[in-house]
Copies of this chain bind each other. A is one copy, B any other.
Amino acid sequence: MKQSKLFGKTTKEIPKDETSKNAQYLIRGGFVDKSMAGVYTYLPLGKRVLTKIENIIREEMDAIGGQEILMPALMKKEDWQTTGRWDIDVMMKVKTFFDKEYGLGWTHEEVVTPLAKKYARSYKDFPFSLYQIQTKFRSEKRAKSGILRGREFSMKDLYSFHTNEEDLDKFYDQSKNAYFKIFDRVGIKEKTYLTFASGGDFSKYSHEFQTLTSAGEDLIYICDKCHIAVNQEIIEDLENSCPECGNKKLKEEKAIETGNIFKLKTRFTEAFGFKFLDKNGKENIPLMGCYGMGPSRLMGTVVELSNDEGGIIWPKEIAPYQVHLICLGDDEVVIKEAEKIYESLQKEKIEVLYDDRNESAGVKFKDSDLIGIPLRIVISKRTMENNSVEIKERLSSDTEFTSLDGLVGFVKDRI
């Protein structure tokens, strides 16, 4: 992509109406635009990052046998009434001009349970798990955390269905591993803790995934030995000790919930009268689990964790482009060489943002830091005197040089 054509401008100014770091960085870098409180447009750079995160999640859900579907946002009032959730605060209610009323989905048990009931009747149809990556709506009274907590946001929600507890437990554990693979790939694994939470009426514990950040709204209590944590709901019950090793020196930290998994058991299958025939021809109620993770929240969390005074530092797998190619000066020979590099990198399927603008070196470097692409290549009259380009990684303050001839190979090793 030529930067001169890229829609969305970087800005030095910190947006006045944004108190959260993620929104400030993302707006300044030209990733998102605030449409209104808690509602953002993803600009071309931001959409690329969001799509990459969604695809990582998709791959890891597919890997544990999740089947992707797409459920509607418009949901039947009667189905919400069946589960007693129609009048919950977070629900946005929709009215049509012909006076039909719907709920806008903030979760999808009320769609997926009746759906599964239609198709799964025998024990032979189990287990299965369905997921979607879809837009959710929540009536948040205050929406001040940028894309960490929006009124409209991207969500992956997976629902699993089982004939017995062992099978539910097995899948529940697989999903834990899948979640850590995702956290690893988006670059926040080290700061993310499997966190014990209340299991509600059904289980001893449920689990959240909490990522340490000063932007977090939650307090968690971490055990350094086990790399796990306990949330505020249950810390007292546990007498401030680690549920794994009994360690009493838990450390209080601020964190944000970046995922949650929950054994719903028969809460929804029972409500919708969902039954299956077991091996002996007897009717039984299936067990359910639900597994949530918000791609837009992950994106915001990465920004909160991975930045410096210059801007965002994107982890490799989710950077909007793999390489930022910067051409300095207006020397035609240099420009011609820059275009050649741009073409040859693209030919190798390397994603390049090419700063071809007529701007000073200072402006270009500042913008490059704001945008935060991991690998920067600079070509100028000076570097061309040695038939080379300058390389700088966003994470490092060192620069190095590599020859024009070997550039493509060099880049392939680094991305």
The residues of A with any CB-CB pair to B shorter than 8 Å are 5-9, 33, 35-36, 39-44, 46-47, 50, 65, 67-76, 89-98, 100, 102, 104, 111, 115, 118-119, 128, 130, 135, 137, 139, 141, 151-152
Considering the complex, give the chain B residue whose CB is closest to the CB of A87: B97
Q: Is A7 within 8 A of B141, CB to CB?
A: no
Q: Is B115 within 8 A of A104, CB to CB?
A: no
The winner among A7, A9, A95 for most chain B CB atoms within 10 A is A7
Q: Is B89 within 8 A of A92, CB to CB?
A: no
With A7-B119, A36-B76 already in contact, the answer to whether A95 and B95 are too (CB < 8 A) is yes
Residues of chain B within 8 A of A97, CB atoms compared = 89-91, 139
Q: Is A95 within 8 A of B98, CB to CB?
A: no
Residues of chain B within 8 A of A33, CB atoms compared = 115, 118
Q: Is A70 within 8 A of B42, CB to CB?
A: yes
Q: Is B41 within 8 A of A152, CB to CB?
A: no
Could you tell me the distance between the alpha carbons of A35 and B71 in the complex, rounded to whole angstroms? 9
Q: Is A104 within 8 A of B111, CB to CB?
A: no
Could you tell me the distance between the alpha carbons of A342 and B297 in the complex, rounded to whole angstroms? 38
Could you tell me the distance between the alpha carbons of A70 and B75 in the complex, rounded to whole angstroms? 22
A281 to chain B, nearest CB (A): 18
Q: Give the 4 A-B CB pairs with smallest separation, nearest first.
A: A96-B139, A42-B70, A44-B67, A39-B72
Q: Is A71 within 8 A of B6, CB to CB?
A: no
Considering the complex, give the chain B residue whose CB is closest to the CB of A161: B7
Residues of chain B within 8 A of A50, CB atoms compared = 70
Considering the complex, give the chain B residue whose CB is closest to the CB of A41: B71
A190 to chain B, nearest CB (A): 29
Q: Is B72 within 8 A of A40, CB to CB?
A: yes
A7's partner among B6, B9, B128 (CB-CB below 8 A) is B128
A46 to chain B, nearest CB (A): 8
Could you tell me the distance between the alpha carbons of A7 and B118 in the complex, rounded to whole angstroms? 11
Q: Is B41 within 8 A of A111, CB to CB?
A: yes
Residues of chain B within 8 A of A70, CB atoms compared = 41-42, 46-47, 50
Could you tell me the distance between the alpha carbons of A119 and B7 in the complex, rounded to whole angstroms? 8
The winner among A44, A74, A95, A119 for most chain B CB atoms within 10 A is A74
11 contacting pairs across A/B (C-beta < 8 A): A5-B65, A6-B67, A7-B119, A35-B74, A41-B115, A47-B68, A74-B151, A89-B97, A90-B97, A97-B139, A98-B141
A72's partner among B41, B67, B94 (CB-CB below 8 A) is B41
Residues of chain B within 8 A of A95, CB atoms compared = 92-95
Residues of chain B within 8 A of A42, CB atoms compared = 69-70
A153 to chain B, nearest CB (A): 10
Considering the complex, give the chain B residue whose CB is closest to the CB of A150: B72
A94 to chain B, nearest CB (A): 5
Could you tell me the distance between the alpha carbons of A65 and B76 in the complex, rounded to whole angstroms? 40
A137's partner among B74, B76, B91, B151 (CB-CB below 8 A) is B74
Considering the complex, give the chain B residue whose CB is closest to the CB of A118: B33
Q: Is B104 within 8 A of A94, CB to CB?
A: yes
Residues of chain B within 8 A of A41, CB atoms compared = 69-72, 111, 115
Considering the complex, give the chain B residue whose CB is closest to the CB of A153: B72
A69's partner among B5, B43, B71, B73 (CB-CB below 8 A) is B43
Could you tell me the distance between the alpha carbons of A76 and B104 in the complex, rounded to whole angstroms? 17
Residues of chain B within 8 A of A68, CB atoms compared = 44, 47
Could you tell me the distance between the alpha carbons of A8 and B70 in the complex, rounded to whole angstroms? 13
Q: Is B91 within 8 A of A92, CB to CB?
A: no
Residues of chain B within 8 A of A35, CB atoms compared = 71-72, 74-76, 111, 115
Considering the complex, give the chain B residue whose CB is closest to the CB of A151: B74
A256 to chain B, nearest CB (A): 22
Residues of chain B within 8 A of A72, CB atoms compared = 35, 39-41, 152
Q: Is A9 within 8 A of B76, CB to CB?
A: no
Kindly list 9 other residue pairs between chains A and B, CB separation below 8 angstroms, not including A40-B72, A41-B111. A35-B75, A35-B76, A41-B69, A44-B67, A74-B151, A93-B95, A94-B94, A94-B137, A96-B139
